[in-house]
Structures are given as structure tokens and as C-alpha cells.
Chains A and B, each alone.
Chain A
């Protein structure tokens, strides 16, 4: 019993610690920043003669 319990605990711990949701969110924020700045300067290019 005790052994089995330990095993499940360990498993959930690994799952928690291996989540990379925050990383995915962070890189997408970074990606959004790149796209916004690029589009802004592209707009300047199109708008100017």
C-alpha cells in the first residue's frame, strides 16, 4: 500500500514540475511583441514616400 502511494505521489510531482505552460505563454508573448514591432515599422515604410 505504502509503496503504491509513494509511487503516485512521485508521479504527480513529476507532472507538476514538468509543466511548461508558463514557458509556452512566455514565448508567445515574446512572439506577439516581435510581430507588433515589425508591423509598426512596416506600416511606417508603407505610409512614407
Chain B
């Protein structure tokens, strides 16, 4: 009975407006970034060249920045803002104002960075490794995006804090708790990238200092770079844990274990950046291995998640009378895009996760480091698991926020879209993985490398990637059609914001999970443990700094 009343709970229209503003930016980034992705795969097939002096590395920068930073950050902030509103009863005027300020600062920053990329003043890719020196406006724009996201995230934290104050001794609503964990992780993580941009790259690009310490900058970047990918993943996990069970008509397997896994993500997502720097010359191998061990710790909450999801599905299936070992699998609601689209994302996380364990395995990284295997890997994690889940979320959240209905036709198109995506990605990511094992480098335009035999073996895989990229672009067109329909044209009505309840309601989540002093303290201790000594080493043993270079092609 409680269900039927909660089903009608709507996100406050004023909050809905801010969430939608985020989604317009996110889906615009997706459309443009998707086009860039298509062009890249076509160039690398060797069968086509970019017109009008457009440069491969420029569109690669656009693709990376739009997909990795703009689409994700805007979608996640919009989704979490709505989820907190839905589960706490709405944001206050102050929180809403804070959210809007954050949104606008992020948008201005995005436009500043985008302008510099279009002017070929910043073809430095989204990792902007020094000593490649972009225009200072590019770095300032990135600073705005980060600071804006802090303010945007603060809105969620304010509302969470108010709920806690009004409901003493009560565990907070699961979705709000998860959103706040992700926002807090994001704030801790972005301190690293903010530090390198503000204290190193910005003064250096303005000419206030002549040189930059490259390894310090890279280390600060990767302190941020790994939790960044968990920042993308956790909203997908929010959907899988706390929303999908409601959509299929089941229950959350365990509210407490879901919270525990999010706590583990907060603790172990950050002190692991060295696993992106395993083949770098300036970091002690013992400290690399220590962070490899910490990286393996962050696999554990994903193992827990896999179990919980299967258990939710099996419990639901058996309640519907399914029998046998896998009978429950057949009775899942495959005709419902809200379930099937994220499900394909979940399934993709199996090869994605397996690949990730390989990447993090210390010296095994030498087999795959900076090969196109890595590109294949994060096109399964971010560009399939995460993004398909985001699509699945938007199919009910956008009509919920705009007061419309997901029609049968759009539901069907959503399912088709996900299969198109899956097939395109199987071609593209699959070919990338195999080409990577043969040594094919990532982030490279078409090249025969002087007629090398090895490079010739890579070309068929590059053609397969272009085939996959083309199919994926069809997927982009479909999802944009659905988004525009749901935002502007779908029939008026009420679409549910599904929020699941736990199987065992008597089992209250332990209040220790909401003890932020404890978790922030442990997180800080782990970060200091993993980074203090190697970071002091890096600074003390630093070589003379590097002056800047602009080695990319200009207009």
C-alpha cells in the first residue's frame, strides 16, 4: 500500500526544471560528441579523410571532453539532483538557487573550454598532459566546470543534511545516501585536478612561471582520473540497486549491503591513481604495487553488486513461479525499456570489469598500456554500462520531469536503440580489444607506420571499428530522437519515478553508515597513506621543469 502512495510522489516542478536544464546540455554533448566519435573511426579505417583542415586530434579532444566530462557530469548532476529531490521531499529554495549557480558556472566553463578547442588552441585531449600547453582560457574553463560541479553538488548535500536534521536517528533514503556518497567522492577527487590546473597549468599558460613539473601534474591528474570513472559508474549502480528492482516489480536484495558497497567505493576509489601510471619512470615500484593492492580492494563492492543484482532478479523470477536453475531469467520484463536498456549495460560490465582487473594487474599493464585495448575497455565501462543505464534512466525520468508519458512506440524504440548500441559496441570495442593485444596504439590517426607488417595486421580491426562506429552513430541518432520526443512531443501524463523498497524492512541500515566523520576520516587516511611518501619523493627528486610545447596543428 505504501507503494501505491510513493508511486505518485513527483519531483517538485521547480527541481524538475533544473534537472532538465542539465539533461539538455548532456544530450547536446552526446549528439556532437557522437558525431566526432563516428568521424574518428572513419579516419582510422584509412578509407576517408577529414575535410576543411579539421584535424584528427582536434576532434579527438572534442569527443573526449564532451563524452567524458560534459555528458557525464551534467547527466549525473541532473539525475542525482532529481533523485535527492524525489526521495527527500524536494530541495529548499536555497538549495535550488545553489544548484542553478553551479549549473551556470559549469556551462560557462564548458563553453570557454569548447571555444579554445574549436580555435585549435587546445588540441591536448581531455587528459591535457603537460608539457603540452593549451590556451589559458581552456584551463580556466575547466576550473569553472570543476568549481561549478562543487556548487551543484552542494545543493544535494544541503538537502540531505536538512533531511537528516528533520529525521534524527533515521537512515537517510537510499538514493539520497548514494547520491551524496558520489558527490562527496567527486569533491575529494577533483581536489587533485583542481590543484594541478590552478597551481601549475594556469600560471604556466599565463606565462607567470616558465616551467611545469610534469610528473607532479600527471600524479595530481590521476589522483582525480580514477575516481572520475567511479563517479560515472556509481549513478548507474544507483539505478541498478535502488530503481531497477521497482521497475521489474521486485525488491532491493539488501539495503544495508547496498550502502556498504557505496561506502567501500568512497574509501577505495581514490587512493589508486598509480595504476594509470604503472609504466611511468618516476614512481617507485613498491608504491605502484601498494596502489595496485588498493585497486583490487575496489573490485570487492562490484562483486557484491553482481550478487545483489542476480539475487534481486532470481527472487523476483521465483515469486512469479519460475523454476530450475535459470528459469527466473526468462520471466524478467524484457519488453520494458526501463529494464532492458540498463540490463544490457549490466551485462556489458562483465567483460568490462574483467578487462579492468587485467589493466590494474601491475606489470601486466605492459601488455595493454596505451594500446587501443584500453579504449575498448572504457567503451564497455563508460560508453556501454554507464551510458546505456543513463539512457534507460532518461526514458522514465525525462517524461516524469516534463509531465509526459513514455509511449509504447518510444519504449520499443528504446529497446531497439539499446540492441543497436550493443551490436555496434561489440564490433567496435571487440576489435579494439584484439587490436590492442596485438600492440595497436590508442589515440592515433590512421598510419601504416612506414609499411610495417605489424601495422598492416591492425588495419582490418580498424575497419571493424569503423563499422561499429557507424552502427553506434545510428544508436546516437535514435536516442536523440527519443530524448526530443520525451522532452517536447510525448503525450501529457504521469510517468512514475520508480524507487524500490528493501526486501527486509525490519532490517534497518546501521546508522554508522551515515557517520561522515568516520568515513571521511578513513578516506583521508587511505589517501595520505597511499600518496604522501611517493608524492614527497616525486617533488624532492624532481628533474628541472619543462617549458611548454604546442605540437598540434593550428588553424
Binding site for B on A (CB under 8 A): 16-23, 25-27, 30, 33-34, 37-38, 41-42, 44-45, 48
Which B positions have Cβ atoms within 8 angstroms of A? Answer: 303, 306-307, 310-311, 313-315, 317-319, 324-329, 350-351, 353-355, 357-358, 361, 363-364, 366-368, 437
Q: Is the CB of A38 within 8 A of B358?
A: yes
Query: Nearest Cβ in chain B — how far from A45, in angstroms?
Result: 5
A35 to nearest B CB, angstroms? 9
CB–CB B326/A41 < 8 A:
no
**Chain A residue with minimal CB distance to B319?**
A17
* Contact with A19, one of B306, B307, B318 (Cβ below 8 angstroms): B318
B309 to chain A, nearest CB (A): 9
Complex Cα distance, B326 from A21, in Å, reads: 9
Question: In the assembled complex, which residues on chain A have CB atoms less than 8 Å from the CB atom of B363?
Answer: 45
Q: Is the interface of B mostly helix, strand, loop or mixed?
A: helix
Which B residues lie within 8 Å of A25 (CB)? Answer: 325-326
Contact of B315 among A17, A26, A33, A48 (CB under 8 A): A17
Q: CB within 8 A of B354: which of A22, A33, A42, A44?
A: A33
- Tell me, in angstroms, the Cα distance from A27 to B309 when the chains sit together: 10
**B366 engages A45 (CB within 8 Å):** yes
Given that A17-B315, A20-B314 are known contacts, is A34 also in contact with B367, CB under 8 Å in the complex? Answer: no
Interface-central residue, A20, A21, A23, A33, by most chain B CB under 10 Å = A23
Given contacts A23-B307, A23-B310, A38-B361, contact A17 B318 (CB under 8 A): yes
* CB–CB B306/A48 < 8 A: no
Contacts of A38 in B (CB 8 A): 354, 357-358, 361
Contact of A45 among B311, B317, B318, B364 (CB under 8 A): B364
Which of B327, B329, B364 has the most chain A CB atoms closer than 10 A to its own CB?
B364
Chain A hits for B368, CB < 8 A: 41
In the complex, A25 Cα to B313 Cα: how many Å? Answer: 13
The 3 closest A-B pairs by CB, nearest first: A23-B310, A17-B318, A37-B354
Is B437 a contact partner of A44 (Cβ separation < 8 A)? yes
Task: Looking at the assembled complex, report how far the CB atom of A33 sits from the nearest CB atom of chain B, in whole angstroms.
Answer: 6
A23 touching B314, Cβ below 8 Å: yes
A33 CA to B355 CA in the complex, in Å? Answer: 11
Say yes or no: A30-B350 contact (C-beta < 8 A), given A16-B318, A45-B366, A45-B367.
yes
Which residue of chain A has its CB nearest to the CB of B358? A41
Collect the chain A residues with CB atoms within 8 Å of residue B327's CB.
22
